[in-house]
Amino acid sequence: MTTGQASGTATTASRRSLREVAFDSLKGLFAVGDVTCDCAARAVHGLLFSEPVPAEYAWAGTIERLRADLESSSEAVSIALPYAGAKERFSTVGEICRRRSKGRIWGLLLHRLVRGFAPSTALELGTCLGVSTSYQAAAMKLNGRGRLISLEGAAALADQARKNLRKLCLDCVEVRTGLFQHTLEPALRDLGSIDFAFIDGHHDEEATLAYFEMVVPFLAHRAILVFDDIAWSDGMRRAWARLRADPRVRVTLDLSIIGICILGRDLPKQDFDFPSLSRVQAAQVVPHIRRAVRGRLPVDAPVLVVSRGDDELLELVSRRAQHFPQTNDGAYAGHHPGDSRDAIDHLERLREGGAEYLVFPSTAFWWFEFYSDFRRHLELHSLSVHQDEDCAIFQLSGAR
């Protein structure tokens, strides 16, 4: 097996910048000289180094607004899978969305892969609420072609996903309910030949490899398989290692969380490692945020950051930065505020506790629209000291 030039290990990444590691792997991938590899390379390159194109950006905005609605929903939903004797289990739509749906960057990766590769047929294992499904289906809509069958075991989640896809007018998707063990085979037969598949459910070594074996005979001459959570457990790490070593899988991209396999007999066997996209992206935005923080804020001011739990972002912003929202001991709360009232109450408690500034990285700008009363509260009771395309900073102290 040939190995791509770059290794994404933490040690290598610390010696060279994450950007350089990613760049070397991209160069290797482009050098394969194959249109499908080019398409995967362009999808990753676009996310790391260039602005999203307007149509994609518009779709991402629409899907992220849907996500924000879902994340704040307290509607109860049954999540039990239909195994014989399985006990009924409930959660809320908000909780499920926060825990299970792929984040924006990974959604955009799927979107860009589908945009560039333009599959006629695609399959998804694990619809959940339909967030990743929407990113893929939106790309098909922009492509003007493509059919996607998405499989989900929990009937109530499948219903939610259908409702969400209808809301977004994404009608190229069919969501089928039932265990993959029962629904995969008929879906493969109905699609006939598969160009693209995203496997994001039943993250178990044996199951993952079994689904791979079932899908392979149906794959088109050139196909892309995307596996989620490749490092989620020892079993998943083993499954990913087996997939990479499999002679039928020719080119792989290891993006730390997601693994991409490109199949096609005529391709050379090559593996490429990347640092996690979210880390590289954060590393790119953070210098701008840090510059803004240093330019505007006193050294070591107590700062709150709308961080979505990213500790690295805190470290890079300031020595006294804390998550917003947070638990009593300052750890990330684990979810966004339920509504504006929650956000306001929480902010006021932290302001009384000494917080002096609130920083919004650009990835959290959607808060201003979604929590509109919270935004008004900030406008009335704090001072906007910085606003550009990378971040917004509010002074909380002495500004009431």
Ligand X SMILES: C[S@@+](CC[C@H](N)C(=O)[O-])C[C@H]1O[C@@H](n2cnc3c(N)ncnc32)[C@H](O)[C@@H]1O
When asked if residue 202 is in the footprint of ligand X (CB under 6 A), the reply is: yes
Contact 237, 230 (CB under 8 A): yes
Around 262, how many Cα atoms within 13 Å sit in the side-chain half-sphere?
24
Closest CA to 194 of 169, 170, 219: 219
- In the list 123, 138, 157, 396, the residue contacting ligand X (rule: CB under 6 A) is 157
Question: Peptide bond preceding 275: is omega within 30 degrees of 0, i.e. cis?
Answer: no
- List residues bridging with 322 in a β-sheet: 304
Q: Which is nearer to ligand X, 189 or 400 (CB)?
A: 189
Q: Which is nearer to ligand X, 148 or 391 (CB)?
A: 148
When asked if residue 94 is in the footprint of ligand X (CB under 6 A), the reply is: no
Rg (CA), the chain: 22
Q: Looking at 187-195, 200-208, 275-283, 300-308, which segment touches ligand X (CB under 6 A)? A: 200-208
Q: How far is Cα 294 from Cα 385, in angstroms, rounded to an integer?
A: 12
Interacting residues with ligand X between 126 and 155 (CB under 6 A): 126, 128, 131-132, 151-154
Q: Looking at 9-17, 23-31, 87-95, 197-205, which segment touches ligand X (CB under 6 A)? A: 197-205
When asked if residue 285 is in the footprint of ligand X (CB under 6 A), the reply is: no
Q: Which is nearer to ligand X, 131 or 314 (CB)?
A: 131
- In the list 36, 101, 136, 322, the residue contacting ligand X (rule: CB under 6 A) is 101
- In the list 200, 254, 273, 356, the residue contacting ligand X (rule: CB under 6 A) is 200
Closest CA to 257 of 107, 57, 34, 52: 107
Output the CA angle 350-351-353, nearest 5 degrees. Answer: 60
DSSP string over 333-380 = -SS--SSHHHHHHHHHHHHHTT--EEEEEGGGTHHHHHTHHHHHHHHH
Closest approach of ligand X to the CB of residue 127, in Å: 6
Closest approach of ligand X to the CB of residue 230, in Å: 13
Q: Which is nearer to ligand X, 186 or 295 (CB)?
A: 186
Structure tokens at 224: 């892309």
Interacting residues with ligand X between 55 and 84 (CB under 6 A): 81
Closest approach of ligand X to the CB of residue 237, in Å: 17
Q: How far is Cα 155 from Cα 77, in angstroms, rounded to an integer?
A: 10
Q: Looking at 115-123, 195-203, 354-362, 373-381, which segment touches ligand X (CB under 6 A)? A: 195-203
Q: Which residue type sits at 5?
A: Q
Closest approach of ligand X to the CB of residue 84, in Å: 13
Site string for ligand X, 296-335 (x = CB under 6 A): ----------------------------------------
Q: How far is Cα 15 from Cα 180, in angstroms, rounded to an integer?
A: 43
Contact 80, 153 (CB under 8 A): no
Structure tokens at 129: 């609420």
Structure tokens at 385: 């000291």
Closest approach of ligand X to the CB of residue 3, in Å: 29
Q: Which is nearer to ligand X, 97 or 396 (CB)?
A: 97
Closest CA to 183 of 124, 107, 101, 118: 124
When asked if residue 177 is in the footprint of ligand X (CB under 6 A), the reply is: no
Helix (H), strand (E) at residue 387: strand 383-387
Q: How far is Cα 390 from Cα 302, in angstroms, rounded to an integer?
A: 20
When asked if residue 201 is in the footprint of ligand X (CB under 6 A), the reply is: yes
Q: Which is nearer to ligand X, 68 or 399 (CB)?
A: 68
When asked if residue 100 is in the footprint of ligand X (CB under 6 A), the reply is: yes
Q: Which is nearer to ligand X, 116 or 201 (CB)?
A: 201
- In the list 179, 210, 220, 231, the residue contacting ligand X (rule: CB under 6 A) is 179
Q: Which residue type sits at 196?
A: F
The contact set with ligand X (CB under 6 A) reads 81, 100-102, 126, 128, 131-132, 151-154, 157, 179-180, 200-202
